[in-house]
Amino acid sequence: MKKFNKLFASSVLFLAGSACAFAAEDVAKLEAYAHPTMFGSNVYEQVKGDEVYTTGTKVLQNANHAIVKNKEQVLINSSVKDVLTLIKDKTTAEGKDFNVKMPVLRSELAVILAENFGLKDTKTAKAYADITDKYWAKEWIYGALNAGVMIGYPDGNFKPDQAVTKAEVFATIAQLIDVKTDKSLIVPDYNKKEIKFIPTWAIAPTKEVVASTLLDNIPEPCKVNKDEYLSKEQVAYLVGTLKADWVFKNNIARDKKAAEVIKAYTPVTINVKMADRISARHSNVGDTFKATTIAPVTIDGVVYEEGSNVYGEVIEVVRPGIKNAGYIKIKFNEIKCGDNVAKFPENITSAQANVLKNPNIVARTFGFPFSAADRVVGVTGRGAASILNISGNGLEKLGDNLSGAFVETLSLKPLSGLKDFGMGFVTVGEGVYDITKVVTSGTFGILYEAADEVRYLVAPNYANSSSLNPNEELTIVY
């Protein structure tokens, strides 16, 4: 740690944070019916929400997503998105506005800290006048205070709705890490440009954060240079990148003066083997699956022996199409061994899929007719639903065309009536065209599904990137 503590003493913000991945607001989620991607059909339903993984028919790839290695379209809860969604739900319930692009507030940073380091608490040694018993972030704020990663103001207030400056964020991160820099008091460049709004007391911590490379992949990097504040999204991403480094690389040393909870942070690692198959092709939201541990693990002081059951569920699915592997998101809920049960946290840091070992060829062969039939039925059903939807809309529009033709003709407007009558033929043509696209696309979809099922039978580990198969081993980190 660089010697900036005296300069930093005037700032009362000592924070830390963690999360991983990427989050965005109001990005459309896509649900595909049949296999329309080959023709660019609009047989998609756009659902407005906070989903961040799909744009068009492609899944956004990001180094800090919780992605299963070699399974790019399978994701395990991404904590930045989930934590920001938690904050949004809580604040909007209070009637407050929420935008991930706006400056992060002290209360929001407390939530990020507590959620990712397990710091929630119901009591604190010192009460603050502006944190009432009903304040939405009370437990998270108390957890951050008790852990020593945040402090309140000398006037007895916490000021939860106060924005955190960029300089304070950098000073916060510098309190956690130990990166060597020179001792000059010159504000460092970032992306070969000046970083503005850095006071003298924050120069040393800013240099440390820049030298750590934690800013390398931050969203909207130009704003790091020119804005006084970092956004909620940027801060979550920044500290999440730090946590990811500590979990997987340990390239960035922890500061000796950091809060004890940070220095002692050690993620729980669980090695499991999948017992069920889940796939973007046939699984549905709410489907549950089971895995078993392949090594003992200690959670909250309880040892869960090898062979303990781990349960999870599918929480989001985007169906695949031609040249589109689809997408599936899962979460792990609990581990159980005898009478011992432990719930997993909402935010799993990451997971890695290892090479499939000892595939059960006999079981896959006997299961092939059923799984293949299930996938074909799924494509057919989605195609039929699309055809019914197109037919219903087309008949309604055709009725309007014919009604207009009669009304306009009887109103002594024969040209308008003739135009409406002609539009009826156009409506029928559009309907036939759309149905043909769905049928053709569905046919190709069935062939694709059958070929993919054969590929799974022969080489399950390489069947597709949007499934997890029986006997595949995962390493879960949280």
Residue-wise pLDDT tens digits, 120-136 = 888 887 889 999 999 99
Residue 263, H or E segment: helix 260-263
Which tokens sit at 461? 């580990």
Q: What is the pLDDT of residue 351?
A: 52
Q: What is the pLDDT of residue 138?
A: 94
Q: What is the pLDDT of residue 30?
A: 28
Tell me: the pLDDT tens digits for 12-30?
A: 333 333 333 333 333 333 2
Give the pLDDT band (50/70/90) at residue 444.
confident
Cβ atoms within 10 A of the Cβ of 366, count? 10
Which residue type sits at 475?
A: T
Cα distances (Å, whole numbers) of residue 393 to 157, 342, 399, 440: 59, 50, 10, 20
- Any idea how long the chain is? 478
Which tokens sit at 159? 């000021």
Mean predicted confidence (pLDDT) in 398-405: 87
Tell me: the pLDDT tens digits for 31-52?
A: 222 322 223 333 222 233 333 3
Distance CA 342, CA 308 (A): 11
Assess if residue 183 is contained within a domain.
yes
Q: What is the pLDDT of residue 223?
A: 94
Distance CA 137, CA 121 (A): 11
Q: Any idea which of 3-7, 194-198, 241-245, 438-442 has the lowest mean pLDDT?
A: 3-7
Residue 89, H or E segment: helix 79-93
- Judged by DSSP in three states, 385 sits in helix
With 70 as the cut, is the pLDDT of residue 310 above it?
yes
Assess if residue 397 is contained within a domain.
no
Assess if residue 26 is contained within a domain.
yes
Q: What is the DSSP letter of 188?
A: P
Q: What is the pLDDT of residue 365?
A: 65
**Backbone φ and ψ of 105, nearest 5°:** -100, 165
Q: What is the pLDDT of residue 292?
A: 94
Mean predicted confidence (pLDDT) in 205-231: 93
Q: What is the DSSP letter of 202?
A: G
With 60 as the cut, is the pLDDT of residue 1 above it?
no
With 80 as the cut, is the pLDDT of residue 453 above it?
no
Q: Any idea which of 197-211, 360-374, 403-417 has the lowest mean pLDDT?
A: 360-374
Residues 6+ apart with CB under 8 A from 294: 271, 272, 273, 306, 473
Percent of the chain with pLDDT strictly greater than 90: 26
Alpha helices, DSSP H, located in 94-231: 106-117, 138-147, 166-174, 203-211, 221-226
Most confident of 16-25, 118-127, 217-226, 403-412: 217-226
Assess if residue 27 is contained within a domain.
yes
Number of domains the chain contains: 1
Distance CA 243, CA 237 (A): 10
Distance CA 325, CA 415 (A): 51
Cβ–Cβ < 8 Å for 227, 161: no
**Backbone φ and ψ of 287, nearest 5°:** -60, 140
Greater model confidence, 225 or 11: 225
| Pairing of β 71-76 and β 327-337 | parallel
Q: Write the DSSP string, 125-142.
A: SS--TT--TT-TTHHHHH
Which domain, by its residues, includes 214?
5-64+77-263
With 60 as the cut, is the pLDDT of residue 163 above it?
yes
Distance CA 238, CA 204 (A): 18
Q: What is the pLDDT of residue 321?
A: 64
With 50 as the cut, is the pLDDT of residue 289 above it?
yes
Greater model confidence, 281 or 378: 281
Cβ atoms within 10 A of the Cβ of 216, count? 12
Q: What is the pLDDT of residue 447?
A: 72
Percent of the chain with pLDDT strictly greater than 70: 72
Q: What is the pLDDT of residue 239?
A: 76
Mean predicted confidence (pLDDT) in 185-201: 94
Residues 6+ apart with CB under 8 A from 134: none
Distance CA 460, CA 464 (A): 8
Q: What is the pLDDT of residue 445?
A: 66
Q: What is the pLDDT of residue 298?
A: 85
Closest CA to 446 of 381, 395, 387: 381
Q: What is the pLDDT of residue 364?
A: 57
Cα distances (Å, whole numbers) of residue 274 to 112, 122, 284, 473: 31, 37, 17, 6
Q: What is the pLDDT of residue 402?
A: 87
Tell me: the pLDDT tens digits for 75-99?
A: 776 667 777 888 999 999 999 999 9
Assess if residue 351 is contained within a domain.
no
Give the pLDDT band (50/70/90) at residue 416.
confident
Closest CA to 202 of 447, 39, 5: 5
Assess if residue 455 is contained within a domain.
no
Closest CA to 316 of 278, 277, 274, 286: 286
Assess if residue 218 is contained within a domain.
yes
Assess if residue 11 is contained within a domain.
yes
Tell me: the pLDDT tens digits for 323-357?
A: 566 788 888 889 999 999 988 866 554 555 554 44
Which string of b and e fits 153-187 if b means at least 16 CB within 10 Å? eeeeebbbeeebbbbbbbbbbbbbbbbebeeeeeb
Q: What is the DSSP letter of 234?
A: H
Mean pLDDT of the chain: 76
- Judged by DSSP in three states, 296 sits in coil
Q: What is the pLDDT of residue 243?
A: 77
Most confident of 56-65, 121-130, 158-167, 373-382: 158-167
Give the pLDDT band (50/70/90) at residue 10.
very low
Tell me: the pLDDT tens digits for 420-435?
A: 888 889 889 888 988 8
